[in-house]
Structure 1
Amino acid sequence: MHLLIKPDIMICVHCPGSVRNLSEVAFYCKQTPELKLQARCCLNQKDTILGHIPLHVLLSRLDLQNCSLKDLGPNFSQAHTAVIIDLQANPLKDDLANTFHGFTQLQTLILPQDVNCPGGINAWNVVTSYTNYQTCQGQRNLCNSTGDAEICPENGSCVPDGPGLLQCICADGFHGYKCMRQGSFSLLMFFGILGSTTLSISILLWGTQRRKAKAS
């Protein structure tokens, strides 16, 4: 069954060619019936089928090896649902720390040998170096090892945000700096204050310009 690449996963055609037959991405994709190879992606078909067009597909695995990539580009975030990503044989810069925000499902990342795993070795269960590449496997949930009390305020909770990345989410009923404000955030009050301030400044500037015009 043919899968069409949707506009929101155009990372699949980020570089020419298709998934290599001997790649780890191709191996896993061919082993699972609901997964289909398309360009550089292995797509997971979801929901129902209308004719030959899936109503919803998710990027499950991505193979961008040997694509001459120096950086992953602004559209790389489209691959945040991927479980396996292969980036070997690319001249990547050795600073991927903030590239994988939101990649919470990523479990296997294959990189050039001279590029460190994002988040460092503490962000992964196993880091293995080979002659031409290295693998980062088993993304760790750092919230489990650090504990909420050490990094999040009393009214917030720690959630993973990608390899070596965390974020604090305010509990229901709390918001603002360090989740210290209680109650829902009042948009009406916010825009009311903003509107009043803008109007006051506009009137002040208008009066100043009128005085200057009369003086001249």
Structure 2
Amino acid sequence: MASREPGGSVRPIVWAAALLLALGTERAVALPEICTQCPGDVKNLSRVAAYCEATSKLMQARCCLNQKGTILGLDLQNCSLKDPGTNIFQASTAVIIDLQANPLKDDLASTFRGFTQLQTLILPQDVTCPGGVHAWDSVTSFTDKQICQGQKDLCNSTGSPEMCPENGSCASDGPGLLQCLCADGFHGYKCTRQGSFPLLMFFGILGSTTLAISILLWGTQRRKAKAS
């Protein structure tokens, strides 16, 4: 039974506890789906949990989150995953991801596209680090896992081929992946077209074409209906 102040009012601490509980429940419901797709809590020796504790972040379900709810760590070890799935992109802001002890396919080349912040990736021992050994500062193999550590920015790597034209710049797009960003005022294939992209003309032509096709199909169906 809640204690009361003289006069019968419930002590403020009780209301504060109720408010914190409500906020905690609301936050748990709002977790990204990737954080709860694997049942159970993380193991005691989880590197993700250790990172979360060391950086004073919040560990909820399988995710390490900052105060804004951004995923900084993801632990999906021992979840019977054959494929990380499309929800994995919800963790594209993660610094550390653990996928060990899963029957993953050995082809993760495009899975981590856009994961430019990823610095530690723990995989099953027989799964190759995405991008290969040249995409990481170090790749360490153990009997039960493989750790890909320190994602390299291949745009700054010595001897990397020049992939972008004069009007574009190279940017990392995940482990072993690059993209070419056009400079301001340029667009199109290899950034060779100057000026802004003609959105009005593009959508005008698209809309006119769609309308013409719709009218043609309507007229064809109308004639068939009259004939029958």
Give me the TM-score of the superposition, normalised by structure 2.
0.80
Identity of aligned residues (%): 73
Three-state SS of the structure 2 residue aligned to 1:57 is: coil
Structure 2, gaps ≥5 residues long: 1-19
Aligned to 1:77: 89
CA distance in 2, matches of 1:210, 1:39: 58
**Residues 24-47 of structure 1, C-alpha deviations (whole Å, 9 max, x = no match):** 1111111222x01111111111xx
Match among 175, 191, 209 for residue 187 of structure 2 = 175
**Residues 145-191 of structure 1, C-alpha deviations (whole Å, 9 max, x = no match):** 26897101221111001000111111100111111111111211112
Alignment of 1:26-37 (within 5 A): 26-33=49-56, 35-37=57-59
Aligned to 2:199: 187
Change (3 A) 1:206 1:142: same
The question of 1:57 aligning with 2:79 is answered no
Structure 1, gaps ≥5 residues long: 46-55
Aligned to 2:63: 41
Stretches (4+) displaced over 3 A: 5-8, 146-149, 195-216
CA contact under 8 A between 2:170 and 2:179: conserved in structure 1? Answer: yes
Residue identity in the other structure for 2:204 = G
Aligned to 2:108: 96
Q: Is the deviation greater in 81-90 or in 145-154? A: 145-154
Give me the TM-score of the superposition, normalised by structure 1.
0.84
The count of residues paired between Structure 1 and Structure 2 equals 205
Change (3 A) 1:208 1:36: closer
Change (3 A) 1:67 1:82: same
CA distance in 2, matches of 1:116, 1:201: 49
CA contact under 8 A between 1:148 and 1:158: conserved in structure 2? Answer: no
Change (3 A) 1:171 1:6: farther
**Residues 67-117 of structure 1, C-alpha deviations (whole Å, 9 max, x = no match):** 111111111100101101011111100000010011000000000000000
The question of 1:130 aligning with 2:164 is answered no
Change (3 A) 1:87 1:148: closer
Aligned to 1:52: none
Q: Name which structure has the greater RCO, CA cutoff 8 Å, separation 6+.
A: 1
Aligned to 1:86: 98
Three-state SS of the structure 2 residue aligned to 1:159 is: strand
Over alpha carbons, which structure has the higher Rg? 2
Q: Is the deviation greater in 88-97 or in 186-195? A: 186-195
Residue identity in the other structure for 1:39 = A
RMSD after superposition: 2.6
Match among 138, 156, 159 for residue 144 of structure 1 = 156
Aligned to 1:154: 166
CA distance in 2, matches of 1:148, 1:181: 26
Change (3 A) 1:92 1:173: same
CA distance in 2, matches of 1:68, 1:106: 22
Three-state SS of the structure 2 residue aligned to 1:190 is: helix
Q: Is the deviation greater in 195-204 or in 115-124? A: 195-204
